[in-house]
């Protein structure tokens, strides 16, 4: 590993101040950033670790919302959100493998916005709000194509606020080598209105499937989308799956998510 400086922040202020310097980058669980640095795909001069900032950790529940601190590990979301938002806890509990979940964080995942990552599907399907040290960003305005987000340089995610759906489920077809989603679909229903967000499939990153949302809002059952199909043209094609296969999987994962959806 090339040489760089590692700072450990113990307060949000300390981290935000350190990030004013444009050569400094945030380090959360390191499950994406460390491999990226080893490959020299990123080479910041300075890292500021967020893992000791208490204010960024933990799950808080109110009647209608779950608020997750940005530096909360996937393993902790899997446990702490299990009672209030089981679909989200289940998603967190199936990210990567146990060791990845014991380090990786929701803030790191959303800042990275990997086109095959799981959390973006939950954020978009629930219309969650990304809180930063500067502002609140609606899910619709946050994701900006593969690995792209609305975050400015030095801007830090502090928390993610999820409205709690009536029922929801995330269904993921695992890419067996990476354990990311080959295709993942998060289905959530709020007051009868269904939202469907798809990850892993599109070259544009996570997206909502409007036709399926309309059909499922009308009738919340797998048959409701029997006649719908995703246009494969904009989907990802790689060694693991062709565009047409991914398009097929989007429909299958959506149906499975609808079948499995519960409180």
Ligand X SMILES: Cc1cc2nc3c(=O)[nH]c(=O)nc-3n(C[C@H](O)[C@H](O)[C@H](O)COP(=O)(O)OP(=O)(O)OC[C@H]3O[C@@H](n4cnc5c(N)ncnc54)[C@H](O)[C@@H]3O)c2cc1C
| Residues forming the site for another protein (CB under 8 A) | 1-6, 8, 27, 30-31, 34-35, 38, 47, 49, 51, 75, 96-100, 102-103, 179
User: From the CB of 227, what's the least distance to ligand X, in Å?
Assistant: 31
68 binds, among ligand X, another protein, none (CB under 5 to 8 A by kind): none
Distance CA 84, CA 45 (A): 40
State yes or no: residue 156 binds ligand X (CB under 6 A).
Answer: yes
Check if the beta carbon of residue 249 is closer than 8 Å to that of residue 173: yes
Q: How would DSSP label each residue in 140-151? A: HHHB-STT-BSP
Distance CA 29, CA 205 (A): 22
State yes or no: residue 236 binds ligand X (CB under 6 A).
Answer: no
CA dihedral 116, 96, 93, 28 (to 10 degrees): -90
User: Which residues are CB-contacts of 234 (< 8 A; sequence separation ≥ 6)?
Assistant: 202, 203, 204
Tell me the window of 123-131, 150-158, 206-214, 216-224 that interacts with ligand X (CB under 6 A). Answer: 150-158
CB closer to ligand X, 154 vs 224: 154
Collapsed DSSP state (helix, strand, coil) of residue 223: helix
What would the two tokens of residue 199 be?
């990850």
State yes or no: residue 25 binds ligand X (CB under 6 A).
Answer: yes
User: From the CB of 158, what's the least distance to ligand X, in Å?
Assistant: 7
Residue 169's CB is within 10 A of a number of other CB atoms, namely 22
Judged by CB under 6 A, the residue of 105, 202, 243, 254 near ligand X is 105
Q: How far are the Cα atoms of 120, 152, 205 from residue 148, in angstroms, in the given order?
A: 12, 11, 9
State yes or no: residue 95 binds ligand X (CB under 6 A).
Answer: yes
CA 38, 39, 45, 46 dihedral sign is negative
CB closer to another protein, 34 vs 214: 34
95 binds, among ligand X, another protein, none (CB under 5 to 8 A by kind): ligand X
Judged by CB under 6 A, the residue of 16, 66, 68, 117 near ligand X is 117
Residue 184's CB is within 10 A of a number of other CB atoms, namely 30
Judged by CB under 6 A, the residue of 31, 72, 80, 243 near ligand X is 31
Check if the beta carbon of residue 255 is closer than 8 Å to that of residue 222: yes
State yes or no: residue 108 binds ligand X (CB under 6 A).
Answer: yes
Distance CA 188, CA 66 (A): 15
Judged by CB under 6 A, the residue of 16, 18, 26, 53 near ligand X is 26
Check if the beta carbon of residue 8 is closer than 8 Å to that of residue 46: no
105 binds, among another protein, ligand X, none (CB under 5 to 8 A by kind): ligand X
State yes or no: residue 27 binds ligand X (CB under 6 A).
Answer: yes
User: From the CB of 177, what's the least distance to another protein, in Å?
Assistant: 8
Site for ligand X, rule CB under 6 A? 25-33, 50, 70, 95-96, 100, 103-105, 107-109, 111-112, 114, 117-119, 151, 156-157, 179-180
């Amino acid at each position: 590993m090339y040489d760089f400086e590692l700072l450990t922040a113990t307060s949000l202020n300390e981290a935000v101040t350190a990030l004013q310097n444009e050569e400094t980058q945030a380090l959360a669980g390191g499950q994406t950033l460390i491999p990226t640095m080893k490959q020299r795909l990123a080479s910041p001069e300075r890292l500021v670790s967020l893992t000791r900032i208490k204010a960024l950790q933990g799950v808080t529940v109110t009647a209608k919302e779950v608020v997750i601190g940005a530096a909360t590990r996937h393993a902790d979301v899997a446990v702490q959100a299990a009672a209030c938002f089981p679909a989200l806890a289940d998603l967190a509990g199936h990210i990567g493998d146990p060791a990845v979940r014991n380090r990786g964080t929701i803030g790191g995942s959303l800042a990275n916005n990997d086109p095959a990552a799981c959390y973006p599907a939950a954020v978009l399907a629930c219309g969650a709000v990304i809180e930063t040290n500067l502002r609140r960003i609606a899910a619709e305005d946050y994701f900006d194509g593969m690995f792209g987000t609305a975050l400015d340089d030095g801007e830090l995610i502090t928390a993610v606020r999820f409205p709690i759906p009536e029922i929801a489920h995330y269904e993921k077809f695992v890419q067996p080598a990476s354990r990311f989603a080959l295709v993942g679909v998060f289905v959530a229903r709020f007051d009868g209105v269904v939202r469907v967000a798809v990850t892993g499939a599109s070259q544009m990153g996570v997206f909502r499937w409007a036709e399926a949302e309309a059909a499922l809002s009308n009738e919340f059952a797998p048959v409701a989308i029997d006649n719908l199909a995703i246009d494969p043209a904009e989907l990802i094609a790689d060694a693991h799956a062709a565009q047409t296969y991914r398009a097929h999987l989007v429909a299958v994962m959506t149906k499975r998510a609808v079948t499995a959806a519960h409180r």
